Amino acid sequence: MCEQIFCILSFILSHKFCHITPVLRDLHWLPVKFRIDFKILLLTFKCLHNSAPSYLRDLIKVRPKSKYELRSNEAVLLKPLKSKTSVTLGGRAFQSAAPVLWNNLPLALRKIDSLTTFKSALKSYLFKLAFK
């Protein structure tokens, strides 16, 4: 409850024409684009650990491991969806956005097995990207 009151007061006390970025940083909130990425990556994590509904799990495919000893074999990579054009509305769909976002994560994040640890590490990672 105190956090909600603090949030409301910070928005009320910030002026109408002030930048919202410092307020978001102080509240440790992610900007909208990064919040969307957070949600997609969280659903992807749940799909890979069998805690998401089957209709979502069916949308993503794991890339088969190479027969060679490569660093990319260390963690699970997803098979990107082949699209005809690079700029389409389909690029925002879960089945095409999830593999791109997941494969761009650092290896340390992709290796995490615990949901709570993954959430915390992912939010910290995205926060650093958003406010660097």
When the pLDDT of each residue in the chain is averaged and rounded to a whole number, the result is 79
Among 28-37, 69-78, 95-104, which is the least confidently predicted range? 69-78
Alpha-carbon gap, residue 119 to 41, rounded angstroms: 9
Among 15-19, 95-99, 101-105, which is the least confidently predicted range? 15-19
Residue 68 has pLDDT above 60, yes or no: no
Over pLDDT 90: what percentage of the chain? 30
